[in-house]
């Protein structure tokens, strides 16, 4: 099948490469000439495991190419819309100008019978607004939300846990759903649930999923605040309630909270759209979810200050992590970097290290110190702060090795990912988030 993918950022680049890998003929289109040039050479413009390999395989097979010209989308059977929907400046709503611009540019190149599949995360009602001009061109608009986890995006595209497509309530909608099913045939034949809904439900799925996930994370972080005040241990609490099959243990890891380019802005946009629909009270709790999440960064900084006797000015602090999560170089709304910046603002000599995100971090925050190697960041540190749970820090770093490098054995575990007893037994003053 011939496909175009409009927008070659994180979502689009992965989708284009993955679709080519299962045999489709794919052209990825983006207005950013540098990005397109890099992708055309098989170089991923961001860190994502397996993506570079998939790009090179698709390019060498001839099934994948990239272009800056929307006219190259002409003739595709499916056009996937994968442009960004950032938070509007000065507000919480989603900025849809890139979606609107991409759709306007695509319309002249549509043929009768084409399918336009939106993958971008948009406010409910967007598809209803965009559908008429697409229908006037003889094509059908559907919405096929993405559910990618950074660091696992290739895996999640090729072996998703579910596929959702929202279609209009007519025969064209049914035909379009069949076209999308064919596009994902390997996953469907492997047993992936394929859910056909109306357009509004498909748009709501991604926002609702992110809202639930954010709520679960902030819930356990709220429990961490209670645990700290009462002398309880939030990790044991999470283990206990996680055995309840109605709750589950996944995403009950307390720490400095979530970040990245999707979850924070998506829950804010979800709440903003609810307000527009006159149902803001239904998701009023999301404001507290956001507030709890941001408070955890304050708490991590306070733990460092307290552990160092109330004064961090002039103290060398090794911050292990810059990306908002492991297996990514994404620093957008990164709690890790936020903690580092706040410590620097208190006068600390902060040295940040990360196996993938240093270049992005240094460009965004040149006031911080950086070390390419973990051990260089640890050397002579008065305190160590673990803020991104890379294996390099949570599994491969022993308290004995770290102790041979630092000036002071003080560790703040911002992700509750270290073995507290092992670090204490090695002579460290260990401080977790919501742990005794």
Positions annotated as catalytic residues are 262
Tokens at 118, concatenated:
């939106």
CA-based end-to-end distance of the chain: 57
Helices (H) and strands (E) in the chain, counts: 18, 14
Q: Are 331 and 323 in contact (CB under 8 A)?
A: yes
**36 vs 25, 41, 98, 252, CA distance in Å?**
17, 9, 17, 39
Neighbours of 431 (CB within 10 A): 20
Q: Are strands 369-370 and 349-353 parallel, antiparallel or unpaired?
A: parallel
DSSP secondary structure string for all residues of 104-117: HHHGGG--TT-EEE
Percent helix, strand, coil in the chain, to 5, is 45, 15, 40
Alpha carbons 164 and 180: distance in angstroms, whole number: 10
Alpha carbons 236 and 259: distance in angstroms, whole number: 24
Specify the 3-state DSSP secondary structure of 252: coil
Alpha carbons 297 and 300: distance in angstroms, whole number: 5
Strand order across the beta sheet in which 369-370 lies: 369-370, 349-353, 316-320, 383-386, 410-413, 429-432
Alpha carbons 326 and 44: distance in angstroms, whole number: 17
Q: Are 195 and 166 in contact (CB under 8 A)?
A: no
Ramachandran angles phi, psi of 62, nearest 5°: 85, 0
Alpha carbons 103 and 85: distance in angstroms, whole number: 13
Alpha carbons 226 and 245: distance in angstroms, whole number: 23
List of residues 6+ apart from 20 with CB closer than 8 A: 26, 54, 57, 58, 61, 63, 64
């Amino acid at each position: 099948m011939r496909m175009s993918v409009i927008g070659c950022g994180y979502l689009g680049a992965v989708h284009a490469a993955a679709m080519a890998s299962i045999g489709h003929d794919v052209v990825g289109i983006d207005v950013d000439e540098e990005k397109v040039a890099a992708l055309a050479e098989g170089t991923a413009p961001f860190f994502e495991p397996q993506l570079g390999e998939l790009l090179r395989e698709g390019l060498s097979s001839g099934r994948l190419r990239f272009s800056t010209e929307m006219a190259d989308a002409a003739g595709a059977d499916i056009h996937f819309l994968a442009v960004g929907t950032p938070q509007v400046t000065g507000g919480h709503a989603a900025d849809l100008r890139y979606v609107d611009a991409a759709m306007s540019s695509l319309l002249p190149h549509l043929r009768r019978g084409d399918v336009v599949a939106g993958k971008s995360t948009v406010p409910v009602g967007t598809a209803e607004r965009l559908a008429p001009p697409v229908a006037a061109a003889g094509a059908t608009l559907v919405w096929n939300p993405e559910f990618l986890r950074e660091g696992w995006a290739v895996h999640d595209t090729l072996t998703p846990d579910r596929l959702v497509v929202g279609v209009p309530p007519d025969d064209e909608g049914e035909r379009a759903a069949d076209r999308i099913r064919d596009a994902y045939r390997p996953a469907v034949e492997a047993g992936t649930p394929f859910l056909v809904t109306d357009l509004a439900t498909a748009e709501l799925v991604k926002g609702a999923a992110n809202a639930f996930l954010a709520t679960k994370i902030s819930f356990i972080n709220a429990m961490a605040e209670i645990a700290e005040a009462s002398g309880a241990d939030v990790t044991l609490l999470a283990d206990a309630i996680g055995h309840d099959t109605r709750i589950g243990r996944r995403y009950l890891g307390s720490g400095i909270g979530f970040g990245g380019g999707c979850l924070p802005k998506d829950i804010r946009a979800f709440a903003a759209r609810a307000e527009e629909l006159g149902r803001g009270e239904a998701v009023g709790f999301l404001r507290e979810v956001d507030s709890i999440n941001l408070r955890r960064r304050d708490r991590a900084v306070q733990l460092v200050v307290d552990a160092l006797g109330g004064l961090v000015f002039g103290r060398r602090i090794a911050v292990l992590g810059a990306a908002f999560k492991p297996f990514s170089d994404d620093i957008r709304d990164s709690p890790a970097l936020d903690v580092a910046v706040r410590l620097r603002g208190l006068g600390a000599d902060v040295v940040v290290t990360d196996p993938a995100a240093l270049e992005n971090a240094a460009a965004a925050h040149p006031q911080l110190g950086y070390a390419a190697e973990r051990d260089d960041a640890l050397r002579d540190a008065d305190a160590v702060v673990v803020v991104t749970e890379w294996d390099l820090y949570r599994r491969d770093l022993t308290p004995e090795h770290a102790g041979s490098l630092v000036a002071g054995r003080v560790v703040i575990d911002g992700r509750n990912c270290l073995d507290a007893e092992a670090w204490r037994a090695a002579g460290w003053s260990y401080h977790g988030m919501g742990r005794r």
